[in-house]
């Protein structure tokens, strides 16, 4: 059997497309992987001709690794600070809100004068402005 490179990565990795790697996730996983993850190999025939025991070991390791990745991503998403969290934090402190409002007013004055439609399209700036406590 010839060797090959096996890579577990995101579909977004540019090098995978430029180096002619092939997505072989279907061999190792029953379902489509979340978060655009995939398994790539530079020689698909190496998967087809792989020793069955070796294949099962690799499949098991990849599945365990995938479960760990999902656990980490879920934890990160749970603790993620969002734009709304930041707006709420600033709005709880009147002095901090006043400081940010002064900076925003100064920085975007020219944009407001020349292209107010742009400022109107800024979702979180407008939400921040609306939340007066």
Name the residue with tokens 């996983």.
29
**Cα 117 to Cα 109, 113, 123, 125, 132, distances in angstroms:** 13, 10, 12, 13, 22
What sign has the CA pseudo-torsion 107, 117, 81, 101? positive
The answer to whether residues 66 and 114 belong to one domain is: no
The answer to whether residues 59 and 89 belong to one domain is: no
- Decide if 9 contacts 40 (C-beta within 8 A): yes
The answer to whether residues 87 and 41 belong to one domain is: no
pLDDT at residue 71, as a whole number: 95
Domain end: 78, 93, 118, which one?
78
In a domain, 99, yes or no: yes
Q: Identify the band that residue 11 occupies on the pLDDT scale cut at 50, 70 and 90.
A: low
In a domain, 28, yes or no: yes
**Nearest one of 41, 36, 6 to 22, comparing CA atoms:** 41
In total, how many domains does the chain have?
A: 2
The answer to whether residues 65 and 94 belong to one domain is: no
**Cα 113 to Cα 103, 108, 117, distances in angstroms:** 16, 9, 10
pLDDT at residue 15, as a whole number: 61
The answer to whether residues 37 and 17 belong to one domain is: yes
Q: What is the pTM of this model?
A: 0.59
Q: Identify the band that residue 57 occupies on the pLDDT scale cut at 50, 70 and 90.
A: very high
The DSSP 8-state label assigned to residue 42 in this structure reads S
List the domain range (segments joined by +) for residue 10. 6-78
- Decide if 38 contacts 9 (C-beta within 8 A): yes
């Amino acid at each position: 059997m010839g060797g090959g490179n096996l890579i577990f990565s995101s579909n977004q990795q540019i090098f995978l497309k430029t180096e002619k790697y092939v997505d072989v996730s279907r061999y190792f996983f029953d379902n489509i992987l979340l978060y655009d993850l995939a398994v790539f190999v530079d020689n698909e025939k190496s998967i087809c001709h792989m020793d069955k025991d070796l294949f099962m070991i690799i499949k098991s390791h990849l599945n365990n690794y995938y479960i760990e990745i999902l656990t980490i991503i879920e934890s990160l998403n749970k603790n993620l600070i969002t734009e709304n969290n930041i707006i709420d934090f600033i709005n709880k402190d009147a002095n901090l809100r006043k400081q940010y409002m002064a900076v925003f007013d100064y920085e975007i004055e020219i944009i407001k004068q020349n292209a107010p439609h742009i400022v109107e399209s800024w979702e979180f700036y407008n939400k921040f402005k609306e939340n007066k406590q």
